[in-house]
Amino acid sequence: MSSLHELTALEQVSHLRQGKLSSRELTEHYLDRIEALNPALGAFITVTADAALAEAAAADRRQAAGHDLPLLHGLPLAHKDLADVVGVVTTHGSAALQHSVAATDSPLVSVLRRAGAICVGKTQVPEFGLSCYSENLIAPPSRNPLDPALSSGGSSGGSAAAVAAGMIPLAPGTDGGGSVRIPAAATGLIGLKPNRGRVPSGSGQSDLGQFVVAGPLARTTTDAALLLDAMVNEPNYHATSAAAHGPFLDAALRAEGKFRIGVSDLSPFAAAFPIDLDDDARAAFDAGVRALVAVGHDVVEADLHYDRRYHEAFQSVWTAGLAVARIPAAREKDLTTLARTLRHRAQGRSAADLAAAVDILRQFEQDTIEQYSAFDFIATPALGMTPRPIGWYTDADADTDYLRQCQYSPYTSMVNVCGLPAISVPVYSTAGGLSMSIQLIGRPSAEAELLTVSAQLEHHFRTNPKPISITG
């Protein structure tokens, strides 16, 4: 047998179910890797070794007693430290909060616990999940396993680093502006943002802009599909939602279908900031487009346009929650520069300003989906440049920090505004060993089709080595 962490999550689940492997053995293996690797990578804020081993032993006892086994029986994973895990401190990545031990699991944690997953800890996040890098004032930054001098992205950066380094087989993330797809692209993973309403416990219907959804991070398309199947497996009480039409794993395994794909490198931030792809981002995008053609899709240029008011409207709605965050005045000094600045600006906006911003984004959603409807998918670069060095964002004032984030990840937040599903798929390797990805944006409720094309690309690059940059 290969080293356990080299097996896919799907293979690990199969070995667990067949009794070739115990959950305790697998959990111990990952805890040993966390102990060895996390000091250099900062992926975990909290490791819950004792609780994880107890959960694993209980899973083994249930299997020995002949009970039905849930989908993720005995499989270790970890949660972002924005989610409550019973008995574990939740920090939200902030030094300005009084950290307390959670009395109950948050909904998604509860869903995955019922699916049989074993929680091994809480992963690094930016303060309140605000940014596309995972650095804060309470713990070491989350570093990229492909080059620890670089960021693993955000806000699911700790989870992505943990999966990419083989500290866990897969992980749930949350994505409100790219927070699953960005770290996936930075670390060479598959990152899927589901449709608004697809995952009941992370549906994109609880925040003002209806941006934030939960989605999987994994090393393979089938592993991402497996986790998505577990995440959607609960009653859905939302009046507006995407009907679950899985199993998504079946779609990833079949990988059948040819589609019309529109290609565009236009960003809605381009009206406000200079948005230019660096050499490796351009090469990756070109490689991804060539691969889509090679696997048989009809790929054409998409002539798109975006509302020039997007930037200001998005920032207003994205940061609105900071205005009412329960942070004592005496603790505001403990906020990061970015969070403190954006909080003060949010508090200065009127209700009329906020309503106008929401109206702009709702019209943006309608206009953009109408344009995209001429195609089955829209393909964009996943990122505007290679992963950035640790401290690249935080060594500047808040406005420069925000500008750099928009330039690094100019293609992701618009998908959250529109509520559409999207996936980040690795397609390119740089001369320095970094991975670069392409983003595919689907029609409403098209996660199965996105997983299909992702699996096709994955197979293509397994049989045709990814192009390597000669520019560095």
Known catalytic residues are 80, 155, 179
**DSSP letters of 339-389?**
HHHHHHHHHTS-HHHHHHHHHHHHHHHHHHHHHHTTSSEEEEES-SSSPPB
- Check if the beta carbon of residue 172 is closer than 8 Å to that of residue 79: yes
Residue 161: name the closest of 9, 12, 34, 2 by CA. 34
**Inter-CA distances, 413 with 112, 176, 181, 382, 422, Å:** 26, 7, 10, 11, 11
- CB contact at 8 A, 112 and 169: no
Establish whether the linkage from the previous residue to 110 is cis, with ω within 30° of 0.
no
Q: Find how far residue 231's CA is from the centre of its chain.
A: 14
- 103 CB contacts (<8 Å, ≥6 apart)? 86
d(CA 337, CA 104): 31
Sign of the torsion angle spanned by Cα atoms 459, 445, 184, 219: negative
Ramachandran sector of residue 87 (left: φ over 0; alpha: ψ -120 to 50; beta: rest): left
In contact, 215 and 192? CB cutoff 8 Å: yes
Nearest-CA neighbor of 436 among 406, 400, 411, 463? 411
CA dihedral 76, 223, 411, 314 (to 10 degrees): -50
Q: Quote the CA–CA distance of 458 and 469 in Å, as a whole number.
A: 19
Single-letter residue type at 79: H
